Structure 1
């Protein structure tokens, strides 16, 4: 049989550069084909997209990556019939904008670079302005022979388009969640309020119908409402949609947007682009502040609810939830267990507090793996924990408590030398079905008395409160 030749796969290290080249080629071709004949593009998002890609994938931001981007841009221009000289010079202008934005933003800490702070948003506006200045200046110096306009008009046209497009496009790329964040449990369950979005759509419609220079500011109130309601990524998408809609409406003279020509070369579209770009600054900054406040409140709520060492409920959170559980019991049985790690002080004294913390963490993890939804598990303090099991009668709870005790006993705590083994003593109390529920303090007190007996009778055992012995 003839032996088929082996096909070697493309080395994985070559794939990112090939993807970068292909992405640049596709974006540039799309931008060229969408450009009016013999005119600058109404939108040229290629530079902003590539700057965002390099900021999100720093490994490709090297001389080789920039060279690939430039070659792909020139190749796309030549493929569309451009002469080689304008293709070389125009794309140097584009590369200058990309490199400038990347250079300024890449030096910021990641929290600013991903626009999670107002400072990062302001820095982005500055970087976009610097990139637009570089591109416009290079265009005037190197590409002037191909323009019929004056140098001032050429500079303003390049600057206004580059600045406005970068300000609208880059925030979307920098705030976009990673694929891992999108697949995280709970990420798809977040609800989106429709009212701010509907108001924004209505305000955009009113802007176009009403017209005039002041109409570009009509959506600002709705965008601010969106900034208070949505994530920075969604606000960035809405700002891009709103800004693009207004720019197209001005370019098509749908808004009757006229300005006095006080400066030679200043056109209606240039003025509109710059005004719209600056209008989105406020909503983007507010979205960052609002998102930071929501994250802070979530962290504070988590710290107030969850014990930082073990991941169990804190004492205060347990008391609130246990009271609510007792209030809504509706004559169903309920069991409360008090658990105490045996000889925990000796563990701390002999092995140190770091090992003691490790014991607490593994003990809590072991118990949480044994529990079900709706069952409360909390750390009351030190090595003392409590579990509440709704629906389980206390006289039938010994099997459950024994299962928990054996799970703890079977654990081995890894440490230098001989693995450490721990045991737990458990006191069980509760209330039977169709009986008046005692208070939480009474349940804790009776379970604590049972726990005291378990320790007095040798530890590593389960004891039930008086009158709640196991029914066999």
Structure 2
């Protein structure tokens, strides 16, 4: 696709501005004369490249690098360290991006355990690249040994990317986020996580960083991967800050030269979130599979109407609720049959017949209101239940449905098909107990038979109302 000049310039400016703002924020939050405690820039930018591949070009990466260097110089850094250390950051971004960009979408969006493991491996590789590049010039700029410098860069880059990158990869689109905003979520796992974090800080010690694991696993079973990623970021960053500020009295023997308590805590916290993320993606996949199976069991794949089994279950629930109601409400049941449907199949083929079924179901559904049921019982036969409508007063509604189908225009090859339906009506009057759904269907079926026998494209009432 060829983009106009202005449409290429705006994304480039946005990418430059985002990189500049993130880098400036990371520098300003950094302790004086120290490496950043939390540097999310690289993981965020890698996520941007993975979500918007057209930025993954030489120009896009060069803009990121220039924005990083510009922010560093603005904060008073010298030219040489600004150029070199931001080259370390860009190296990490490129590594994250190149190791994940060719993964299938379901893996890249962390919808499979394989995707989670590949993301962790990419985070480790990117952190190694950044740490190795930093060590190449550690002598003039760091007082620490090469081992200490490498471990400091690696632990920070790995822990931060593990906490931030999953958010970028699992984030839903804005329309999907708005659709899910009204859904209710359980607060118990979240409260459990907050309590476990408070207990970790209050109890202290090296083992305290593992306290939130049970709460995170509960969150993984209860929430989406995106929401869990936000919670792991919250938990991980809280623990890292607590260790850095010595709030948890986290100490370890210095038997390994250059390994500090903060480095160890960062790596432990990063590995802590691996299990919950895998559980979350498996749980999300299982919920999606169950939702698809439920949809297939309840919704006819061709017409979008209810299946016979789903209709039977929901109609019986309406009848049962009517029996238990102190004031028995009326209920109308209609059976509809597409006239001469076999002739349509024989003359125009089953593809046209399927189109007739689909469009008839769409027209009927458009005429119904919330709480009214439309089902495909089989073949060309449909059923409709209208709660609150007296069967003897249902002729107007049935005529409206019949006319809506009659006005439908379906193209069969070179000609326009005329589609009509015959309708039989049965139901339950108010203040009377209802019989079974089978009796209602039988009465409506007899009325439908009379409608077809009397010329089709008409509505007939059942001769005996079920009471």
Shift of residue 438, structure 1, vs aligned partner: 2.0
Kindly indicate whether the alpha-carbon contact (under 8 Å) linking 2:95 and 2:125 is maintained by their aligned counterparts in 1. Answer: yes
User: TM-score if structure 2 supplies the norm length?
Assistant: 0.96
Q: Secondary structure at the match of 1:11?
A: helix
Which of 430, 434, 437 is 2:431 aligned to?
A: 434
- Which residue number corresponds to residue 101 of structure 1? 96
1:91-130 pair list within 5 angstroms: 91-130=86-125
Q: Secondary structure at the match of 1:338?
A: strand
User: TM-score if structure 1 supplies the norm length?
Assistant: 0.95
Deviations 1:70-118 (A, max 9, x none): 1111111111111111111111100000000011111111111111111
Kindly indicate whether the alpha-carbon contact (under 8 Å) linking 2:348 and 2:412 is maintained by their aligned counterparts in 1. Answer: no
Q: Measure the CA separation in 1 of the matches of 2:332 and 2:108.
A: 51
Whether 1:295 aligns to 2:249 is no
- Which residue number corresponds to residue 336 of structure 1? 333
Q: Measure the CA separation in 2 of the matches of 1:301 and 1:73.
A: 50
Q: Measure the CA separation in 2 of the matches of 1:415 and 1:67.
A: 57
Q: Measure the CA separation in 1 of the matches of 2:217 and 2:183.
A: 20
1:79-94 pair list within 5 angstroms: 79-94=74-89
- Which residue number corresponds to residue 6 of structure 1? none
Q: Secondary structure at the match of 1:420?
A: strand
Q: Measure the CA separation in 2 of the matches of 1:377 and 1:88.
A: 67
- Which residue number corresponds to residue 390 of structure 1? 387
Whether 1:44 aligns to 2:39 is yes
Shift of residue 467, structure 1, vs aligned partner: 4.4
Deviations 1:361-402 (A, max 9, x none): 100000001011111110000110001111211111111111
Kindly indicate whether the alpha-carbon contact (under 8 Å) linking 2:348 and 2:413 is maintained by their aligned counterparts in 1. Answer: no
- Which residue number corresponds to residue 286 of structure 1? 279
Q: Secondary structure at the match of 1:413?
A: strand
Shift of residue 183, structure 1, vs aligned partner: 2.5
Kindly indicate whether the alpha-carbon contact (under 8 Å) linking 1:213 and 1:258 is maintained by their aligned counterparts in 2. Answer: yes
Shift of residue 10, structure 1, vs aligned partner: 7.9
Q: Measure the CA separation in 1 of the matches of 2:252 and 2:419.
A: 80
- Which residue number corresponds to residue 449 of structure 1? 446
Whether 1:135 aligns to 2:152 is no
1:234-245 pair list within 5 angstroms: 234-245=227-238
Q: Secondary structure at the match of 1:183?
A: helix
Shift of residue 415, structure 1, vs aligned partner: 4.5
Q: Secondary structure at the match of 1:414?
A: strand
1:223-372 pair list within 5 angstroms: 223-329=216-322, 330=325, 331-372=328-369
| Aligned positions, number | 458
Whether 1:201 aligns to 2:194 is yes
Kindly indicate whether the alpha-carbon contact (under 8 Å) linking 1:89 and 1:143 is maintained by their aligned counterparts in 2. Answer: no
Q: Measure the CA separation in 2 of the matches of 1:341 and 1:309.
A: 15
